[in-house]
Structure 1
Amino acid sequence: MNFLPDSKVLIQGVVEPLGATYAPLMRAYGTNVVAGVSPGYGGTVQQDIRVFDMVEQALAIVGPVDSTVIFVPPYAALDAALEAIAAGIRQIVLITEGIPPLDMVSLLCKAEATETLIVGPNSPGIIIPGQLLMGLHPGEFYTPGPVGLISRSGTLTYEIALELTQAGLGQSIGVCIGGDAIVGSSFPQWLQILDEDENTEVIVLVGEIGGDSEEAAAHYIAEAIDKPVIAYVAGRTAPKGRRMGHAGAIINAQVSELGPETGTADSKINAFRRAKIPVADLPWQIPDLVKKALKLTTRKS
């Protein structure tokens, strides 16, 4: 992970409605946005950001880029991401929702082969409070501190960040892995990153119904994570078999080896409890659990 205050950031789809809205907000937050890319708009300037037709053309002028934030429509997202990878960019934030699943499979194969970190799709991206914003996070909800926040839900990420901030608990990072059925990076991947991050003392993991990513995360935490983790699972009252907004938030099938109830809130909560991970029943209970974990960590050290 290479997210630093001076990291050079590219915006693909800078003239798209979301790109045009959030590019200046990212810059205002302090993000080093060096260029934008939107085919057909090369040579123009959008919100004081130089626009190029191709990633390669942008990098020829601004030099190597650390990360790109992609705002393009779903059926153009694969080409945009592959173009970034071909240009040597190894951190990609996919804001776009609803990228075709086969496109994501192709992208993840390429990302694995090139050791590229993909965040999203259907994600508000990443924020390093007080330093860097790559995506849609409302910066005013966050404040610098020791809590690493990883989530599947964008709005819940914001809500819990605000709860932590109001309780005097700052955050080292806020990252949403994305709400689509196929996403680029996983909870275990981010748990490992935050476990090794010297600015993170405690991790808050925000899950939701559907899929088995929380069950897998609980197992991984028990096996490999040294720092304290607090969990919260949204969707306890959701009926089975009904789509609940996110492509991944569907309770309808048995997942091999994980049992018929996999994907339900109870399955996820029980998995965390078996791993001895404190689980908040409501978002506003998270700060108290974090404070307890921080006190235990202080005593141990």
Structure 2
Amino acid sequence: MSILINESTRLIVQGITGRDGGFHTRKMLDYGTQIVGGVSPGKGGTQVHDVPVFNTMQQAVEQTNANTSIIFVPARFAADSIMEAADAGIKLIICIAEGIPTLDVVKAYRYVQQKGALLIGPNCPGLVTPGKSLAGILPAQIFKPGRIGVMSRSGTLTYEIVYHLSVASLGQSTAIGMGGDPVVGLYFIDLLDMFENDPETDAIVMIGEIGGNAEELAAEHIRKHITKPVVAFIAGQSAPVGKQMGHAGAIISSGSGTAAEKIEYLKAAGVLVADEPSQIPELLQSSNSSKAK
């Protein structure tokens, strides 16, 4: 099993005729993802990599029975694209686009919730269920099918930690990059519950970073509701107060949101926290999850 995507996922690429959309469509097709259509206003009736292109999401969904979309459009169009996908009945929306104004994301995310859909991102690398489906820009070759769920605020750290997992023969059930903006869709608590309820996920890797209080809230949720082993890494342990570190959401304000603070909360909840990404496989094995291979 897996969470969110699998071999039955029917994907629409919004912005398929653009440079990034076309490039990653090819990569996802090569992985085996079932891409059933693309959307690019004014380009309906054409094809990209033999994938039919539609003018609107409504047309695309009606003609393909798609259930998932991925967004590769400029930031100024991205919020509207999110809402168009939700309005067309898409149930999982993955927004790769970055630089979207926060208030636009708030509006779009609220609309997604009203429509009963799920949003990943924006400003995220997407997700992969190894061996089944890739919806995003993640480097497919480092992922290996297995029983470790991975969720991360950082795309680059996801790749590094997954590499260490795969080298240690600890494959992944699903790996999700949630995005690093101040406002995004699915977050730690949502994904923790999904992995907890997935019978083919044995343990969870949580990759956090400075800024905000998501990791602290997740720690409390783990303490109360999660029975599976959780191993974490928090990036930005040497970051100074007031200095943004990469992501818009990765900034310590007035001493709140520090790595030390997050690590303290997680350890108090029984989470094993790695000092370095390379320690993750060892900590998983020491948490009695060595069967999750």
TM over 0.5: yes
Instruction: Encode CA deviations 1:249-297: one digit per residue, 9 max, x unaligned.
Output: 11124xxxxxxx3311101100111112110000000000111223488
- Within the candidate set 54, 57, 62, 1:55 is matched to 57
**Equivalent residue for 1:180?**
181
SS of aligned partner of 1:35: strand
8 Å CA contact retained: 2:71, 2:81? yes
**Equivalent residue for 1:21?**
23
Instruction: Encode CA deviations 1:143-188: one digit per residue, 9 max, x unaligned.
Output: 0001000000011111111100001110001101111111111100
**Equivalent residue for 1:256?**
none
8 Å CA contact retained: 1:2, 1:66? no
**Equivalent residue for 1:8?**
10
Give the deviation of 1:111 after TM superposition. 1.8
Instruction: Encode CA deviations 1:26-84: one digit per residue, 9 max, x unaligned.
Output: 0110100000001121111112211111111222322x211000111111011111111
Question: How many Å separate the matches in 1 of 2:130 and 2:204?
Answer: 15
Instruction: Encode CA deviations 1:95-153: one digit per residue, 9 max, x unaligned.
Output: 01111111111112112222211000110001000110000111110000010000000
The within-5 A match list for 1:1-301 is: 2-62=4-64, 64-253=65-254, 261-295=255-289
8 Å CA contact retained: 1:262, 1:268? no
> Could you list the runs of 5+ residues in structure 1 that have no partner in the other structure?
254-260
The one of the two structures with greater contact order (alpha-carbon pairs below 8 A, sep at least 6) is 2
SS of aligned partner of 1:216: helix
> Could you list the runs of 5+ residues in structure 2 that have no partner in the other structure?
none
Q: In the superposition, relative to structure 1, how do residues 251 and 292 fare at CA in structure 2: closer, same or farther (>3 Å)?
A: same
Instruction: Encode CA deviations 1:207-237: one digit per residue, 9 max, x unaligned.
Output: 0111111111111100111111001001111
8 Å CA contact retained: 2:128, 2:134? yes
Give % identity.
43
8 Å CA contact retained: 1:231, 1:279? yes
TM-score (norm 1): 0.93
Question: How many Å separate the matches in 1 of 2:4 and 2:218?
Answer: 23
8 Å CA contact retained: 2:60, 2:66? no
Q: In the superposition, relative to structure 1, how do residues 28 and 124 fare at CA in structure 2: closer, same or farther (>3 Å)?
A: same
Q: Amino acid of the residue matched to residue 215 of structure 1?
A: E
Question: How many Å separate the matches in 2 of 1:17 and 1:164?
Answer: 32
TM-score (norm 2): 0.96
Q: Amino acid of the residue matched to residue 278 of structure 2?
A: W
Question: How many Å separate the matches in 2 of 1:13 and 1:218?
Answer: 37
8 Å CA contact retained: 2:149, 2:195? yes
Question: How many Å separate the matches in 2 of 1:141 and 1:2?
Answer: 20
SS of aligned partner of 1:157: helix
8 Å CA contact retained: 1:42, 1:53? yes
SS of aligned partner of 1:270: helix
SS of aligned partner of 1:105: helix
Question: How many Å separate the matches in 2 of 1:273 and 1:60?
Answer: 48
8 Å CA contact retained: 1:205, 1:229? yes
8 Å CA contact retained: 2:149, 2:205? yes
Count residues with an aligned counterpart.
290
SS of aligned partner of 2:151: strand
